[in-house]
Structure 1
Amino acid sequence: MSQTPIGQCEQSLKVLLLTSKLSPAAGGLAVSVPGLAHSIDQLPGVDMHVMGTLDPDNPDSAKSWGPRVFAFPVKGPQAGQYAPKMTQAIAELAPDLVDVQGLWTYPSLVSLRHARRTGSPYMITPRGMLDPWARRNSAWKKHIAWIAFEFAHLKEARALRATAEMEAQHFRDMGLTNPIAIVPNGIDLPDLALRTDSALRSILFLSRIHRKKGVRYLLTAWYALHADFPDWEVVIAGIDEKGHEAELRQLVAKLSLPRVRFVGEVHGDAKQLLYRDADLFVLPTHAENFGLVVVEALAQETPVITTTNAPWAGLTDHGCGWWIDLDQNQLTNTLRTALSQPTEKLAEMGKRGRIWVSQAFSLEQVALKMRDVHNWVAGRGSKPESVYD
């Protein structure tokens, strides 16, 4: 799939964001990568391209990933993301710079081979996939990829991008010595959604429904608290992964938990409304390199509880949430504290959160920083302040 002919303004820096599945099933990448592609492309001197694979369950979703999108069918198991047409396509596109989004699948091998064949520069944005928890998940498959191509791919990259200092430290802990650009993800600050009337106040979880996200901790805490807070409910939204939603539904039934709603996959205005209607957002995660859903919740003035496995110490610093260890008792006690707050107190916290997001995580700021990083990696600019050796 190509929305515009390959080959455009040769004087501009031609950047390729190379990834795998171009679909909402990619999780946070489905927001951050298209946002980055579209926002940088609006700046002078850069032409942004996105290349990845088609999701057989949602092939049309690829169209929105960038101003120029190239999407290819996968052959064989989906897990490997083997798309043989990708090799020729990247050669024909001849980008000045490749920025690889994510790890462990065929696009990494395509990137490495292209760089060795042409000598052209590339950088890697691992998107949390070097987090210790993530590396332990399906560890044997990643070990094979590590030996086959990913170790060399990482070592030979001219730079790595981390979205927070915590992620940068993960790179160093693995022995990677590449320069690191620390640039957060950004969002286009949405208008505040119009809240709907509800008899219940709500605790919202919205992310991929995967055991990594720690939803069991939330439901276990709710088991201890629901009788004391009869005017609250728990809303669980997101894409089900590996049947984990069924496991959570079984837990709800086993514990006879009242006022728990599973609302499925949500996007666009429906997602913004869920954030806005919630009185509290909870992400009891085992690991996040960034956690874009935290920014999205704060942007709708919803205070947040998340764990120290995500880089959100600023929730405490800016008075818009709680940053706690992933511990069942601590989550339960923190939830009790939060649910006991007057509505006005939580609303004030949410307002502070939106102000923080507007100041620190705007898509325009991120686009400018990443354009400077891309120019530097491609040899067309000086080293930005965001880059550390």
Structure 2
Amino acid sequence: MMAQSDQLDAIQVLLLTSQLASTAGGLAVSVPGLAFSLDKFDDIDTHVMGTLDPAEPYATAAWGPRAHAFPVKGPRSGHYAPGLKKAIAELNPDLVDVQGLWTYPSLASLQYARLTGKPYMVTPRGMLDPWARQNSALKKKLAAWAFQSAHLRGAVCLRATAEMEALHFRTAGLKNPIAIVPNGIELPELLVRKHHDLKSILFLSRIHPKKGVEYLLNAWSALNNTFPDWEVIIAGIDENGHENQLKRMVADQRLPRVRFVGPVHGQAKQQLYRDASLFVLPTHAENFGLVVAEALAQEVPVITTKNAPWQGLHKHDCGWWVDLNQQSLNDTLRNAMLLPGEARVQMGQRGRKWVNADFGVQQVADRMRSVYWWAAGFGARPDCIFD
């Protein structure tokens, strides 16, 4: 394979995903972050395509310097957007990187590859972990039979954001080369902490059964009387009415000092992180868990489970990486709340330093630039590719 300079001045890469909206969860942060960071290079021309969310018709521009959204026909869950196929053909990218699984963009990518012989990558974004594969299993089996299995097998490379996710690819039977590259985070301005009468335990993510919020509420049921100067804040986008189920749980158990604040974005989200004393993500499954990095970046110590690839919390002494069971979370949360405030502050400071050292957005962009040149067939194989 020849060096970049011997072949092309630039390659054209398409990041192809489902809906271009804030409701896309972590994708709404990681995909735009990648697109904008790659735009700083002269030798990669990055485009983003996906489906249009009628509730957020102006959200597209936030997804990248060249982002294009297409209207969906039929059920929104399938993301069937006929305009995508034509747009991909007209763009004629050197490489497609499909972000996510199970919906029409994967089929559109497969059809483009079969028509042109151009290579493509797949970044599953946690959709191949065991918990995710069991969720809506029948629909996924149908999609796998129709197009998804062939699409995965034909990828020149799969991208995992952590070694844990790469193992999930192998247990799913996939033998493709794997690029292990974490998500990048733009280290935010360190905000001034506001004074509050209560110290807070923050959960901020999609409000979905996968995230395990019930474990946090059960822990709070056991601990709230011991810690009257603490509260629980639950923030994020509700999915499929799960927030109402959690509110009923709070009411049924008569849990005090629990606040649901809804979706938060931008500066308001950063302030919510900064003002928290602890961040808790009792998740069933994460391919990366971008909210963990975001919390650490605002110097908040984190408790998360061994279903997320954050074992470095222990190594860097900035949080707790625990088994997902109720007693473990209860004990860990109690111990974390009993710490002197200054000890938690110091843990948070160590967390921000770690994020800056290992997950800087431009470091990740450098790695993905090398991966894309190699996957497109014009560059040397980078060290982050594993067979």
Partner residue in 2 for 1:7: none
Residue of 244, 256, 261 corresponding to 1:246:
244
The 3-state SS of whatever aligns with 2:59 is helix
Partner residue in 2 for 1:5: none
Question: Unpaired segments of 5 or more residues in structure 2?
Answer: 1-7
**Deviation per residue, 1:26-54 (Å, 9 max, x gap):** 10000000000000111120111000001
CA distance in 2, matches of 1:195, 1:264: 21
Partner residue in 1 for 2:84: 86
**Deviation per residue, 1:143-186 (Å, 9 max, x gap):** 10000000000000000000000000000111111000000001
Residue of 167, 181, 187 corresponding to 1:183:
181
CA distance in 1, matches of 2:237, 2:200: 20
Partner residue in 2 for 1:328: 326
State the one-letter code of the partner of 1:165. Answer: E
CA distance in 1, matches of 2:300, 2:194: 14
**Deviation per residue, 1:267-310 (Å, 9 max, x gap):** 00000000000000000000000000000000000000000000
Matches within 5 A, 1:289-300: 289-300=287-298
State the one-letter code of the partner of 1:26. Answer: A
1:344 paired to 2:332: no
**Deviation per residue, 1:124-154 (Å, 9 max, x gap):** 0000000110011111110100000000000
CA distance in 2, matches of 1:193, 1:272: 8
Partner residue in 2 for 1:317: 315
Deviation (angstroms), 1:197 = 1.2
The 3-state SS of whatever aligns with 1:246 is helix
**Deviation per residue, 1:227-246 (Å, 9 max, x gap):** 00000000000000000000
- Which moved further from structure 2: 193-202 or 207-216? 193-202
State the one-letter code of the partner of 2:249. Answer: L
CA distance in 2, matches of 1:135, 1:42: 36
State the one-letter code of the partner of 1:99. Answer: D
Matches within 5 A, 1:56-135: 56-135=54-133
The 3-state SS of whatever aligns with 2:32 is helix
Deviation (angstroms), 1:70 = 1.2
CA distance in 2, matches of 1:387, 1:65: 26
The 3-state SS of whatever aligns with 1:75 is coil
The 3-state SS of whatever aligns with 1:104 is coil
CA distance in 2, matches of 1:269, 1:209: 20
Deviation (angstroms), 1:194 = 1.5
Partner residue in 2 for 1:276: 274
Partner residue in 2 for 1:384: 382
Question: Unpaired segments of 5 or more residues in structure 1?
Answer: 1-9
State the one-letter code of the partner of 1:158. Answer: V
**Deviation per residue, 1:99-136 (Å, 9 max, x gap):** 00000000000000000000001000000000110011
State the one-letter code of the partner of 2:143. Answer: A
The 3-state SS of whatever aligns with 1:189 is coil
CA distance in 1, matches of 2:49, 2:88: 8
Residue of 254, 258, 264 corresponding to 1:266:
264
CA distance in 2, matches of 1:200, 1:342: 15
The 3-state SS of whatever aligns with 2:366 is helix
**Deviation per residue, 1:48-67 (Å, 9 max, x gap):** 10000011111211111001
- Which moved further from structure 2: 57-66 or 267-276? 57-66
Sequence identity of aligned pairs in percent?
A: 66
CA distance in 2, matches of 1:76, 1:53: 12
CA distance in 2, matches of 1:26, 1:388: 29
Aligned residues: 380
State the one-letter code of the partner of 1:311. Answer: P
Residue of 302, 307, 315 corresponding to 2:305:
307
Partner residue in 1 for 2:199: 201
CA distance in 1, matches of 2:384, 2:324: 30
CA distance in 2, matches of 1:17, 1:84: 17
Deviation (angstroms), 1:11 = 3.8
State the one-letter code of the partner of 1:12. Answer: A
Partner residue in 2 for 1:231: 229
The 3-state SS of whatever aligns with 2:225 is helix
State the one-letter code of the partner of 1:307. Answer: T
CA distance in 2, matches of 1:310, 1:57: 31
Q: Flag as ranges the 4+ runs of structure 1 deviating above 3 A.
A: none
